Amino acid sequence: MLPTLDPELRRALATRIRYYNEMGIYDFYRRPLSERGGEVATSISADEEAINISEHASDPHPPDPGEEMSPRKATAVAVPREVEENVLHVIALKPEQSVSDPVKALKIIREDLGDCKRCVLHKQGRKQIVFGVGNPNAELMFVGEGPGADEDEKGEPFVGRAGQLLNNMIKAMGIEREQIYIANIVKCRPPGNRTPERDECDTCSPFLMRQIAVVKPKVIVALGATAAKTLLAMNSSMMQLRGRFYDFKPTGIRSNDPNWNGCKLAVTYHPAFLLRDPRQKGEAWKDLQMVMKELGMKAPAKNN
């Protein structure tokens, strides 16, 4: 049996593969090339392009996404034989990807999440995990920051004052809450409703990415800066992020539907912010109108 992959090398490979996932490269396979002095030259390819993931395997820092990269110029290099064992483990299929029913798939993700203790939020006063709610076949998905006190009490996102405002925003679009899917970046209430820390978002968001891949929405609306920056991996202001669509694919996971190749993502203000500054409601409505146009929706006529 091959020896266990060195943990540091495993983390480096995982980081490297996540980098390619973020570039939109998901399909990897191995092709032995030659034996040389106890090492095997191994090529991992994507879409018939040779992608060299071992070149920086010992470097824990992935290359800057802004760097010029050309997969066609990459060449296979010798890597230690033990990489053969688990190099593809980090991109193994998730259990829900073998299920066609989105209700069952979401249930599998929730069961996988379990009584989550992956970050510090589990011991900072949360009462329960707030997973997500709504239509598992929704064309429109809203993603917020994290649960508040009311959400932590009920176990459902957006049920407090901010949730009531979100419901009104949804109704103004001419649809009902039950027609969409709602989730948050983190699924446990941060103490005092503080902004989630970066490591908390990074720990929890893979489950959100899996939810998105199951629901397969046409449009996601990121509510607030934390949701927008986490989903888009961009550190920009709300003014810079709003007013346009972004092409979005959930990081590190693919839908089991080959016809779904990601969705559009729009950014608007979090309802809690709008409660503090109602003057921005008009701007939020502009964002939602942009979403409605993308989905071919018309606002209901107002009664005179």
| pLDDT tens digits, 155-185 | 999 999 999 999 999 999 999 999 999 999 9
Q: Quick one: average pLDDT of 36-58?
A: 39
Gap between the Cα atoms of 220 and 139, Å rounded: 8
CB atoms within 10 A of CB 181: 27
Are the C-beta atoms of 219 and 140 separated by less than 8 Å?
A: yes
**C-beta separation of 153 from 127 below 8 A:** yes
Q: Which position has the token pair 């296979």? A: 76
Lowest mean pLDDT among 58-72, 91-105, 146-160: 58-72
Question: Given this model, what pLDDT does residue 195 score?
Answer: 96
**What are phi and psi for residue 225, nearest 5 degrees?**
-65, -40
Q: Which CATH number fits domain 95-295: 3.40.50.150, 3.40.470.10, 3.40.640.10, 3.40.50.1100?
A: 3.40.470.10
Q: What is the pLDDT of residue 93?
A: 82
The yes-or-no verdict on residue 42 having pLDDT over 70 is: no
Annotated domain spans of the chain: 7-91, 95-295
Q: What is the largest CA-CA distance in the chain?
A: 84
* DSSP 8-state code for residue 178: G
pLDDT at position 299, please? 81
Q: Considering the entire predicted model, what is its pTM?
A: 0.72
Q: What is the pLDDT of residues 230-263, one digit of tens each?
A: 999 999 999 999 999 999 999 989 888 989 999 9
